[in-house]
Amino acid sequence: MYRSAMSYCLGIESTADDFSVGILSFDGEILTNVTSTYISESGGIHPREAAQHHAKIVGTVLTEAFAKANIKPKDINIVAFSQGPGMGPCLRTGATAARALASYLDVPLVGVNHLAAHIEIGKLTTGAKDPVTLFVSGGNTIVSAFDAGRYRIFGETLDIAIGNCIDVFGREAGLRPKEGMPVAAIVEELASHGRVLISLPYTVKGMDLSFSGLLTAATDLLHEGKCSLEDLCYSLQEGVFSMLTEVTERALAHTEKKEVLLTGGVAANKRLQSMLRTIAAEHRARFCVVSKRFAMDNGAMIAWTGILACQHGLKLPIEKSFVRLKWRLDDVNVPWMER
Amino acid sequence: MLVKKGAEASLFLEKWHGRKVMMKRRLPKKYRLPQLDERIRSYRTVHEPQLMHQSKETGVPTPTILMIDVKEANIVMEFIEGEQVKQILHALTTEERRKLCNHIGVLIGNLHNHGIIHGDLTTSNMILTSHGKIVFVDFGLGEFSTELEARGVDLHLMKRAFQSTHFEHAKECFEAVLEGYVKVVGEKLTEDVLEKIREIEGRGRYISREER
> Which CATH number characterizes residue B175's domain?
1.10.510.10
Spell out the domains of chain A, with CATH numbers in brackets. Answer: 8-119+296-337 (3.30.420.40), 129-294 (3.30.420.40)
What pLDDT digit, counting tens, does each position of A273-305 carry?
A: 999 999 999 999 999 999 999 999 999 999 999
Residues of A with Cβ-Cβ distance to B206 under 8 angstroms: 326, 328
Q: Do B205 and A156 touch (CB under 8 A)?
A: yes
Integer angstrom CA distances of residue A38 from A57, A196, B27: 10, 36, 46
What pLDDT digit, counting tens, does each position of A145-169 carry?
A: 998 789 989 899 989 999 999 999 9
Would you say A53 and A41 are in contact if contact means Cβ atoms under 8 Å apart? no
Select from A205, A250, A276 the Cβ nearest to the Cβ of B119. Answer: A205
- Measure the CA–CA gap between A61 and A254, rounded to whole angstroms: 43
Q: Which distant-in-sequence residues (6+ apart) come within 8 Å of A283 by Cβ?
A: A249, A252, A253
* B129 shares its domain with B200: yes
Q: Which of B8, B27, B31 to mutate against chain A (most A CBs within 10 Å)?
A: B31
* B10 shares its domain with B112: no
pLDDT at position B212 is 31
* B132 shares its domain with B185: yes
* B173 shares its domain with B93: yes
List, for chain B, all residue ranges whose pLDDT scores fall below the cut of 50: 204-212
List the beta bridge partners of residue A23: A10, A32
* B28 shares its domain with B120: no
Number of compact structural domains in chain B: 2
* B144 shares its domain with B103: yes
Q: Identify the three-state secondary structure at position A161.
A: coil
* B71 shares its domain with B87: no
pLDDT at position B203 is 64
Q: Does the ipTM surpass 0.90? A: no
Query: Mind telling me how many Å the CA of B7 is from chain A's nearest CA?
Result: 5
For residue A197, what is the DSSP state? P
Q: Which of the residues B120, B138, B154, B192 is marked catalytic?
A: B120
Select from B120, B141, B204 the Cβ nearest to the Cβ of A157. Answer: B204
* pTM of the shown model: 0.84
- Measure the CA–CA gap between B207 and B212, rounded to whole angstroms: 7
* B122 shares its domain with B24: no
- Tell me which chain B residue has its CA closest to the CA of residue A157: B204
For residue A137, what is the DSSP state? -
- Tell me which chain B residue has its CA closest to the CA of residue A282: B30
Query: Is the preceding peptide bond at B49 cis, omega within 30 degrees of 0?
Result: no
Compute mean pLDDT per 10 residues along chain A, 339 residues long, and list them. 76 96 96 93 85 96 97 96 96 97 97 97 97 95 91 91 96 86 93 96 86 97 96 98 95 91 96 98 96 96 97 93 93 87
Last residue of a domain, one of B59, B78, B97: B78
Last residue of a domain, one of B57, B78, B99: B78
* B100 shares its domain with B189: yes
pLDDT at position A40 is 80
* B107 shares its domain with B165: yes
Which residues form the domain of B62?
2-78
- Tell me which chain B residue has its CA closest to the CA of residue A207: B120
Select from B5, B167, B204 the Cβ nearest to the Cβ of A148. Answer: B167
Residues of A with Cβ-Cβ distance to B8 under 8 angstroms: 246, 250
CATH of the domain at B35: 3.30.200.20
Residue B37 among the catalytic residues: no
* B56 shares its domain with B150: no
Last residue of a domain, one of B26, B55, B78: B78
Judged by CB atoms within 8 Å, which residues 33-72 of B form the interface with A? 33, 35-36, 39-40
Q: Which of B165, B205, B206, B212 to mutate against chain A (most A CBs within 10 Å)?
A: B205
The mean predicted confidence, pLDDT, of chain B is 91
* B70 shares its domain with B126: no
For residue A14, what is the DSSP state? -
